[in-house]
Amino acid sequence: GAGVSQSPSNKVTEKGKDVELRCDPISGHTALYWYRQSLGQGLEFLIYFQGNSAPDKSGLPSDRFSAERTGGSVSTLTIQRTQQEDSAVYLCASLLAGGPYNEQFFGPGTRLTVL
């Protein structure tokens, strides 16, 4: 596709369940980022991938959160034993490094609601 895509667009789950959120970056983009946007808050960095490696996962809020990337393309963010405070919009962005700007292109996000 032409842009970053994410699925599902909306996810409602019960407290304690596990969820998987998927990100398909722009083809050829080597860097991939996950962010969380809580209501009324700025985007919060979660994890950065370069290829399949995650040099910086310092933003993951707890060990219930994990992410992987395979084939230098698709990434999955997994939240185990979800809590109500995990409710937020999870955004993915990809980047093709080079030039002075290194622009990140964002997907539409997955809105997660934990009941």
Partner 1 sequence: KNQVEQSPQSLIILEGKNCTLQCNYTVSPFSNLRWYKQDTGRGPVSLTIMTFSENTKSNGRYTATLDADTKQSSLHITASQLSDSASYICVVNLSGGYNKLIFGAGTRLAVHP
Among 7, 20, 22, 45, binds partner 1 (CB under 8 A): 45
Minimum distance of partner 1 from residue 114's CB (angstroms):
19
In the complex with partner 1, which residue's Cβ is closer, 15 or 27? 27
Residue 104 sits in the site that holds partner 1 (CB under 8 A): yes
Choose which of 12, 97, 113, 115 interacts with partner 1 (CB under 8 A). 97
Smallest gap, in angstroms, from Cβ of residue 38 to partner 1? 10
- Per-residue DSSP letters for 83-104? -GGG-EEEEEEEE---TTT--E
What is the per-residue DSSP string for 44-93?
A: EEEEEEETTEEEE-TT--STTEEEEE-TTS-EEEEE-S--GGG-EEEEEE
